[in-house]
Amino acid sequence: MTEGEDRTAGRQDPTWIAKDPLLGAVVVSAGQIAARVSELGEQITKDFWGRPPLLVGVLKGAFVFLADLARAIELPLEMDFMAVASYGTATKTSGVVRIVKDLDLDLTGRHVIVIEDIVDSGLTLSYLRKSLLARGPESLAICTLLQKTGQQRADFDVEYVGFEIAPDFVVGYGLDVAERYRNLPDLRVYLAGEPE
């Protein structure tokens, strides 16, 4: 198998995926995700050489990405998690952000990388970024698996982006709708409208 070749090409979907009428086209395949996570791990390893980072995973959507990315980073590192809510069970952000689970570790003087699943409007991440910067880290970078094109309403840089995608609602690889579909190995369009 050559580098960058999709290991999932030609495989049949498990029955439950194939029969789900709410799952649309694959946006990013499992093979593409694995290759890109490896590249991001290499880049972060190079950029943070000599200054071990603290990875802050934003629950719940980023947990699969964080697990794979952490193993691709060839540095000693630490991990912590926080949970923020702005979607609830809907497919669109409410714009109101609240911290549901805060960090256990002190950020003072640390090199922090926030690991996100997706940057949509950027409003949630903007709030989170301000909150974390107020805690005195030495540096703060953002790494997101996905960034939706043309949707950002907040002004800040995302240092590491896995994939830029169209503004469709996607599920899989940790991303959900009403807690479903997190265990999909790839990212797919969610065909239903906003849940009631």
pLDDT of residue 189: 95
Asked if pLDDT for residue 109 goes beyond 90, the answer is yes
pLDDT of residue 194: 44
CA angle 161, 162, 165 (to 5 degrees): 95
Average confidence (pLDDT) over 82-104: 73
Edge to edge, what strands does the sheet with 23-28 contain?
A: 23-28, 187-190, 170-171
Res. 123 pLDDT band, cuts 50 70 90: confident
DSSP character at residue 154 = S
Active site residue 168: no
What letter represents residue 159's amino acid? E
Asked if pLDDT for residue 12 goes beyond 70, the answer is no
Rounded Cα distance between 76 and 82, Å, is 21
Q: Which of 21-25, 65-69, 94-98 has the lowest mean pLDDT?
A: 94-98
What φ, ψ does residue 72 adopt, rounded to 5°?
-90, -10
pLDDT of residue 3: 47
DSSP character at residue 126 = H
Distance of CA 22 to the CA centre of its chain: 22
Rounded Cα distance between 36 and 140, Å, is 22
pLDDT of residue 156: 76
Asked if pLDDT for residue 155 goes beyond 70, the answer is no
Question: Which residue out of 68, 117, 120, 186 is catalytically annotated?
Answer: 120
Nearest CA among 172, 189, 177, 179 for reference residue 65: 172
Fold of the domain spanning 23-190: Rossmann fold (3.40.50)
Average confidence (pLDDT) over 101-121: 94
What φ, ψ does residue 154 adopt, rounded to 5°?
-110, 150
Res. 48 pLDDT band, cuts 50 70 90: very high
